[in-house]
Structure 1
Amino acid sequence: MPILPIILAGLAGWAFGTAWYSIFAKPWIAVSGVATDATGRPANLKTALPYVISITSAMVVAATMYYAFDMLNIVTVGKGFTSGLGIGACFAAPWLATNYGFAGRPFKLTLIDAGYAAFGSAVIGAVIPLF
């Protein structure tokens, strides 16, 4: 399994997440219950841990999707995008919805986080076939 496509796809998915959560920052902060600092930004952004977890998670998703795409012979950007979207929407998002439902989390939070899972996976899926 070549490492460069996995790293680039993982970084693309992670970069998409930075854009996604920049767009949805205010509603996400409002419904997530995350602690904020005096500026209204999440207080935990001062530590490296959230970034390490998110980048590592994106790499795990990219590696797993690379392996699956190889087995399924998904070799075009379009098929990679739609397959990634399906993986995110049909595998990751339902688990989030289940966990958030039992935890009593707001439905808006589910939509924001599940949307990132779906479209972030789509971005990863679109990058993998480039290699």
Structure 2
Amino acid sequence: MGVLSVFIAALGCFAAGAAWYMTLSKAWIAVVGIPVNAEGKPQGAGSATPFIIGFVAALLLSGMMRHVFATAGIDTAAKGLVSGLGVGVFILGPWLCMNYAYAQRPRMLMLIDGGYAVLGPAVAGLILGIVA
């Protein structure tokens, strides 16, 4: 069940990211400065590489979270959700903010990407808690 739970958690994390960025796509595209066509779609889009990297990252995150959760006895949906939020708020979010601050990236980009850095592990943690 371990490998399957990691895969399901990664799918949930990835789906949450898809929903997050579809909702905030116009703001994200504007703040990143991606050129768009007349329909407002990114020009030259279509590469699967970012999606593959994103899913692999979600798999790695979910796998490590499952390992830590098993070691710590995190075995309910509530514990998984709170622990996943903790990963996002206290590990991923600050790291992302630090890197964006040094790179002098726009604050709005930090908020959009940082929001997903919290949402993704929260969803993965919730799923891992449910299937524990």
Contact 2:78 2:129 in 1 (8 A): no
Aligned residue-pair number: 131
Is residue 114 from structure 1 mapped to residue 124 from structure 2 by the alignment? no
Is residue 28 from structure 1 mapped to residue 52 from structure 2 by the alignment? no
Report the CA distance shift for 1:37/1:60 in structure 2 as closer, same or farther (over 3 A): farther
Contact 1:9 1:125 in 2 (8 A): yes
Report the CA distance shift for 1:62/1:22 in structure 2 as closer, same or farther (over 3 A): same
Coordinate RMSD, CA, aligned: 1.5
Partner of 1:85: 85
TM-score scaled by length of structure 1: 0.93
Is residue 16 from structure 1 mapped to residue 9 from structure 2 by the alignment? no
Please state how far the C-alpha of 1:78 moved relative to its aligned partner. 0.8
% identical equivalent positions: 40
Partner of 2:124: 124
Please state how far the C-alpha of 1:12 moved relative to its aligned partner. 0.3
Q: Per-residue displacement from partner, 1:91-129 (whole Å, max 9, x unpaired)?
A: 111111111111111111101101101011100000002
How far apart, in 2, do the equivalents of 1:34 and 1:59 lie? Answer: 27
**Letter aligned with residue 109 of structure 2:** L
TM-score scaled by length of structure 2: 0.92
Partner of 2:59: 59
Structure 2: give runs of 5+ residues left out of the alignment: none
Divergent runs of 4+, >2 A: 33-45
Please state how far the C-alpha of 1:36 moved relative to its aligned partner. 3.5
How far apart, in 2, do the equivalents of 1:18 and 1:44 lie? Answer: 19
Secondary structure in structure 2 of the residue aligned to 1:46: coil
Partner of 1:7: 7
Secondary structure in structure 1 of the residue aligned to 2:63: helix
**Letter aligned with residue 91 of structure 1:** I
How far apart, in 1, do the equivalents of 2:40 and 2:130 lie? Answer: 39
Please state how far the C-alpha of 1:35 moved relative to its aligned partner. 4.0
**Letter aligned with residue 90 of structure 2:** C
